[in-house]
Amino acid sequence: MKRLLFPALVILVYAGPAQPQATIVFLGDSITQSWDVAAAFPQLHAINAGISGETTSQMLLRFERDVLRQQPSQVVILGGTNDLQHDIPLITTQRNIEQMITLARNNGIRPVLCSVLPTSPAWYDKRPPQQIVMLNAWLRATAATYGLEYVNYYKHFLSNNDQLLPGVTLDGLHPNAAGYAIMQPVLISTTGW
């Protein structure tokens, strides 16, 4: 009986303690809030800091509380669609996101910038496609300037004729389960999680 216990103890000693999960904060609006990031990324300690209807100005106001105090290794920033809806100038959105990048980097947190998603024609009056394209081009260039990952969800939500894929949103704006199923591997392949 003693012989059987010894090999089991040796295995436990050599197995060592479990590695801690990386803490990642997902900061955004309703698109983030509705995503079950804990289920989508079980390998991480994923914290959902999405609040429906928020603009990047509101995200910036709560950045210390919802991001910095969590001490994550990374923050995934997905915002800007509500800025477009509220006719907030692009320069204001850009400044807000650059301030979030600076705050994160100054606190040892690596920001990940995400594209704004395309919408169906029903949303074009509040979120014109050309403005989404302009914001996404700026996000991509800013990520390159700072050496950050840029998660291009936008291109994965478009059909061959540059229209929103059918069946990936609840209402032409907010992803459904099929939409989030597109987003999850795109984020993983970009970040290497």
Q: What is the Cα gyration radius of the chain?
A: 20
With CA atoms as reference, report the closest residue to 45 among 64, 20, 69.
20
Asked if residue 67 is part of any domain, the answer here is: yes
Asked if residue 44 is part of any domain, the answer here is: yes
Question: Does 95 have pLDDT greater than 60?
Answer: yes
pTM: 0.90
How many domains would you assign to the chain?
Answer: 1
Asked if residue 9 is part of any domain, the answer here is: no
Asked if residue 151 is part of any domain, the answer here is: yes
Asked if residue 39 is part of any domain, the answer here is: yes
Query: Which tops the pLDDT comparison, 8 or 124?
Result: 124
CATH of the domain at 88: 3.40.50.1110
Task: Give the DSSP H or E segment for 149.
Answer: strand 149-151
Asked if residue 6 is part of any domain, the answer here is: no
Q: What is the mean pLDDT of residues 14-22?
A: 60
- pLDDT tens by residue, 40-65: 999 999 999 999 999 999 999 999 99
Asked if residue 13 is part of any domain, the answer here is: no
Question: Does 179 have pLDDT greater than 70?
Answer: yes
On whether the CB atoms of residues 154 and 115 are closer than 8 A, the answer is yes
The residues with which 26 forms a beta bridge, in sequence order, are: 48, 76
Domain of 155, in residue numbers: 19-191
Report how far residue 14's alpha carbon sits from residue 27's, in angstroms, rounded to the nearest whole number: 38
Question: Does 12 have pLDDT greater than 70?
Answer: no
